[in-house]
Amino acid sequence: MIPDRTAILARCRDILVLRKAEYERELRSLDQAAAAETKSSAGDKYETAREMIAQSRNLIQHNLAEAEAGLDALERMAKAPLRPKVGFGSLVETGTGWHLVGVSLGELEILGMRLRMISLASPLGAALKGKGAGDRFPFMGADMEILQVPI
C-alpha cells in the first residue's frame, strides 16, 4: 500500500503548527517571568535568574525558527513535482520502511504507519538522493535497496 503523501504532509503541518504555538506560549511565559523578576538586595540571584531566562529564550527561539522553517519546507514539498528519482519532497520505501525526504522531524506515527521524516542533508537523505526504485546502496554498514518511489 502506498501512503497518501498529501495526507502525510497535512499531518506533518498539523504537528509543526502545534509545536510552533507551544513555543510561542513558552516565549510569552518567559516574558512574563522576566517582567516579574525584580532586582533585590541579592543581586547575584537576580542576575542568575535573568541569565537563565535569556538562555531559555534563546533555545525556544531556535526551536521556533526550526518549526517555521519546517512549515516552509512542507509548503515547498507540497508543490515539488514528483519524480521517479529521490529528491526534495519524495516519498520513498526502502527495506527499512517509508521515508519522506524534505524536512527532518524524525520518526512519526502518521495515518497508522511509521514514517521517517528526513532532510536531504541527513546521511540517509544524501545516500538516497538521485536514486530510484531497484537501486541498491551501502548505508551504515548495511546494503539498502529502494523498493519504490511513488509518483
Per-residue pLDDT reduced to its tens digit, 14-29: 999 999 999 999 999 9
Q: What is the DSSP string of 46-84?
A: HHHHHHHHHHHHHHHHHHHHHHHHHHHHHHHHHHSPP-S
Tell which residue, 2, 1, 5, 3, has the closest CA to residue 82. Answer: 5
Asked if residue 55 and residue 21 are part of one domain, the reply reads yes
Among 79, 107, 130, the domain-final residue is 79
Residues 74-127: tens digit of each pLDDT = 999 999 999 999 999 999 999 999 999 999 989 998 888 899 999 999 999 999
Read off the pTM.
0.84
Its domain, for residue 71, covers 5-79
Q: How many domains does the chain have?
A: 2
96 and 121 co-located in one domain: yes
Q: Is the pLDDT of residue 46 over 70?
A: no
**Are 57 and 36 found together in one domain?**
yes
Domain membership flag for residue 31: yes
